[in-house]
Homo-oligomer: A and B are copies of this chain.
Amino acid sequence: MPPNDTLSRLSFEPDPDDDPAGLLYTFGGAAPVASVRPGQVLSTWTRDCFAGRVRSAADKASEVCDPRYINPQTGPFYIEGAEPGDTLAVHFVSIEPRFGWGVSANLPLFGALTATPTTALLNPPLPELTWFYELDLSDRLVRYRARDSVHEVDLPLDPMHGTVGVAPALGEVRSSLAPGNWGGNMDTPEMRAGVTCYLGVNVPGALFSFGDGHARQGEGETCGVAVETAMDTVVIIDLIKDRSTPWPRLESDDYLITTGSTKPLEDAFRIAHTELIGWLCEEVGLSVMDAYQLVTQAALSPVANVVDTVYTMTAKFPKAYLNGARAMNGMHQLMIERARLLRINP
């Protein structure tokens, strides 16, 4: 690990022009905005999913946003040395709301509990409504206020990025609304500060981008829109050469976390849990059947989202049960140490 003074830092300032048409809405298909060396610290910020156009409970996304320009990303970043077959490691040092507010909304044909373009039904749509949230960044609170009934409650601030990914394989270019094995719009609340995200590299330079900050979200992101906020975010980027990662994985201090994104939701569960079994086999040397058994008794299985173009499940395994085995050759521990040094000498 490099001593702190060699921790190289890169600050990337997104184009301040806020014409939504000029922003990035895909994984793949765009030229990189900057190059990052493995080990480097990247400080940048991300717009909210509405590109800042929804600013009050009176704003309707259908009126202030162009449907072609939803969920802008910051990036893509070209990671030097990244080749197909490698794994990109992205450690989230900090994710902080850029402003003191967030918004959520019910969009009529979007969400888990409504007819949608793919669960195509004849029922009348739900109303379009926007909720405005004050964020208390010092007390770390998100204030919920009912719109047409009476209830107020403070929820814990728990900032995260809904969308994190790289360019897909097979020459595909995918909308930032879609999650998949390249990452993308997974919308898991596990993507918070302190976590290391592992992404398989599909193209030279990986072409990493991210966005869709949430001040918090419930599991499932049920109506499809979390507490959406612009974010100031610091990540450390590294590369694990010659090790492929079929589906995005996360590692926190306490958990190994796998993801699977597809429909129906049981198939997303199957992907996440076969991935977790495979990871345990790699790191602990378990046989497949022994890992299947251990996962059966010890894994957690929270839903990430049931609202995007396909759904995302996560599977979580407590690292306490690894008997000391370090995943990915200790990459997360290395990242945590780097982040600690960074906090000491900001």
A contact residues vs B (CB 8 Å cutoff): 25-26, 28-29, 68, 104, 106, 111-115, 117-127, 129, 131, 142, 144, 146-153, 155, 169-175, 177, 216-227, 260, 262-267, 269-271, 273-275, 277, 284-290, 292-303, 306, 310-311, 313, 315, 321, 323
Contact = CB atoms under 8 A, between A and B. Distances in A.
B126 A306 contact: no
B288 A122 contact: yes
Given A173-B29, A266-B112, A267-B118, A299 B218 contact: yes
29 contacts: A25-B171, A68-B170, A104-B297, A106-B293, A111-B292, A113-B121, A114-B122, A118-B267, A119-B267, A119-B270, A122-B274, A122-B292, A131-B293, A144-B297, A147-B290, A149-B287, A151-B286, A152-B323, A153-B321, A155-B297, A170-B175, A220-B299, A222-B273, A222-B301, A223-B296, A227-B297, A263-B266, A266-B306, A269-B306
A217 B298 CA distance: 7
Main secondary structure of the interface of A (DSSP, over half): loop
A120 to B, nearest CB: 4
Given A217-B297, A266-B112, A147 B223 contact: no
Contacts of A115: 115, 121, 123
Nearest to A307: B296
B262 A264 contact: no
Closest 4 CB pairs of A and B: A264-B264, A123-B123, A265-B265, A173-B173
Contacts of A288: 122
Contact of A263 (B123, B262, B300, B323): B262
Contact of A286 (B111, B149, B300): B149
Q: How many copies of this chain?
A: 4
Contacts of A28: 173
Contact of A301 (B106, B124, B224, B303): B303
B226 A296 contact: yes
B122 A126 contact: yes
Contacts of A321: 144, 153, 155
B171 A292 contact: no
B127 A297 contact: no
Contact of A218 (B123, B298, B310): B298
Nearest to A264: B264
A125 to B, nearest CB: 7
Given A153-B323, A262-B263, A265-B269, A218 B289 contact: no
A118 to B, nearest CB: 5
Contacts of A153: 294, 321, 323
Name which of A129, A219, A286, A311 has the most chain B CB atoms within 10 A of its CB: A219
A124 B124 contact: yes
Nearest to A144: B294
A148 B29 contact: no
Contacts of A262: 118, 263
A150 B123 CA distance: 22
A216 B151 contact: no
Most buried by B among A106, A112, A297, A321: A297
